[in-house]
Amino acid sequence: MLSSDNLATCERCHQPIRWTITAHGNRQAVDPEPHAEGNTAVYTDGAGTTRSRRITVEYPLLAYEWCAMPHAATCAAPRPRRRTRPGRRRPVIRHQDWRRT
């Protein structure tokens, strides 16, 4: 089930990670070993692609999946949060500005 073929290394904390493809087609890094408190179901499809999805009450963990933790939650050196640039804020439009004169 778990092979070391598709392991990579996190560029920030240099820990091993496993890249998956989400249900929406995005890439997501998860920790390579199963984690009991994880919220991500990981499985390998018929083509050999490692896929992931969120575990919810409506869609619990299935028999062919294993529970993983997203690496963003456990990374020792996470990316800094994005801030908006001071000059790029959206203008506030008041109700009276919408009226035609």
**pLDDT tens figures, 1-57:** 566 667 999 988 999 999 999 989 999 999 999 999 999 999 999 998 999 999 999
Predicted pLDDT of residue 24: 92
The answer to whether residue 33 sits within a structural domain is yes
Instruction: Quote the domain boundaries for residue 37.
Output: 7-77
Predicted pLDDT of residue 21: 95
The answer to whether residue 100 sits within a structural domain is no
Predicted pLDDT of residue 79: 74
Q: How many structural domains does the chain have?
A: 1
Rounded Cα distance between 62 and 48, Å, is 18
Is the full-model pTM beyond 0.75?
no
pLDDT band at 77; cut points 50, 70, 90: confident
3-state DSSP assignment of residue 7? strand
Question: Is the confidence at residue 61, as pLDDT, over 90?
Answer: yes
The answer to whether residue 64 sits within a structural domain is yes
Residues pairing with 50 in the sheet:
44
